[in-house]
Amino acid sequence: MGVILTCKRLSKRLYKRIRFVFVTSKGVLQNLERIGIDTKNATLETAALAGIVAAAHKGNVGAYYAIKEAVDEVNGTEAKEDEFPAVKIPAELMVGAYANLNRHITSGKTKEAIIKGGRGGWKSSYPGLKIPEMIMANPSMHALCIRNVKDTLKDSVYEQIKWGIDKLGVSDRFKCTTSPLKIVYKPTGQTIYFRGADDPIKIKSIKPPFGYIGIVWFEEFDQYAGEAAIRNIRQSAIRGTDESGNSRAIVFETFNPPPTAQAWANRYVAD
C-alpha cells in the first residue's frame, strides 16, 4: 500500500471511530501479513489496523476514509473538503408548521417531537426525511424506529425512511437490507435500526459498534401499551455518548389522535 500506519500514532478519537471495521480474530494474522506487519510482534493496535486495511481493501467506504483521515493526521495535513457533505431537507418539502419544528430540532431546542395528523398527512413523512438528515450531520449518532408490532415495520417506517433518503437525493450513500431489517449509512457505518415493541429483548440487545442511539421514532404512538411502556423503551434505547462524552437525543412520536379524549396518548399530549 506504500503507507505503514501504527495505531500508536493515532489519537483516541480516531481509534474509537475506526474500531467498527475491525475484523474477527480468525483472519487477523493473515491481515497482518498482507500489509507487511511482523505477526510475532503484533499488538492489539496493529491487529486492529490490519482489520481496517483489509476492510478498506474489500470496499468498505468507512474504513477507507478512516485511513485517509489517519494519514492526514499523522502527516499534519488538513483533510480535504468532505466527500460526503451533509444534506438538508429542501425548503420545498417543508410543509406548513413543520418548518418551525425543523428549526427547533436542528438547533437542539426540541428533544421530543409529538406530531399529530390525519391519514395521508405529513406526520410520518417528516421523520422519514429528518432522520437520514440527522444521521448524515452527526457521525456518532444511530437511530431506532419502532412500531408496536414488529410485523408492520417493513411496510411503514422502513419504507418511509427509504422514501426520505430518495427525496434527499442520497440513495447511493445508504445500504438498505430486509434481512436483517436495517439501513446503514455507508460512509461511516451508522445504522438505522427497526424493532417492534412486542419484542423488547431485541430493543435492549441493540449495541451500536460506536457512538450511541440518539434518535428514536415511535410510529403510531397511540397503539403502544401506555406511557410506562414508552418510558421503558426510551430508557432501554437511548444510551451511550459520542467520542466527547456528549449525548444529544431526539424522540419522534407520530400518531393519528384517537377519537376519545381519555385515550392515554391524548392525555399524554395534553399534559
**Active-site residue set:** 220
Residue 210, SS3?
Answer: coil
Phi, psi of 165 (to 5 degrees): -60, -45
Helices 125-137 and 159-167 pack at an angle, to 10 degrees, of 70
- Based on C-alpha coordinates, what's the Rg of the chain? 21
Round to whole Å and give the CA distance between 30 and 47.
10
Report yes or no: 168 and 89 within 8 Å, Cβ to Cβ: yes
Residue 131, SS3?
Answer: helix
Cell numbers given for 265 = 396518548
Residues in Cβ contact with 261 at an 8 Å cutoff, skipping those fewer than 6 apart: 267
Round to whole Å and give the CA distance between 218 and 157.
9
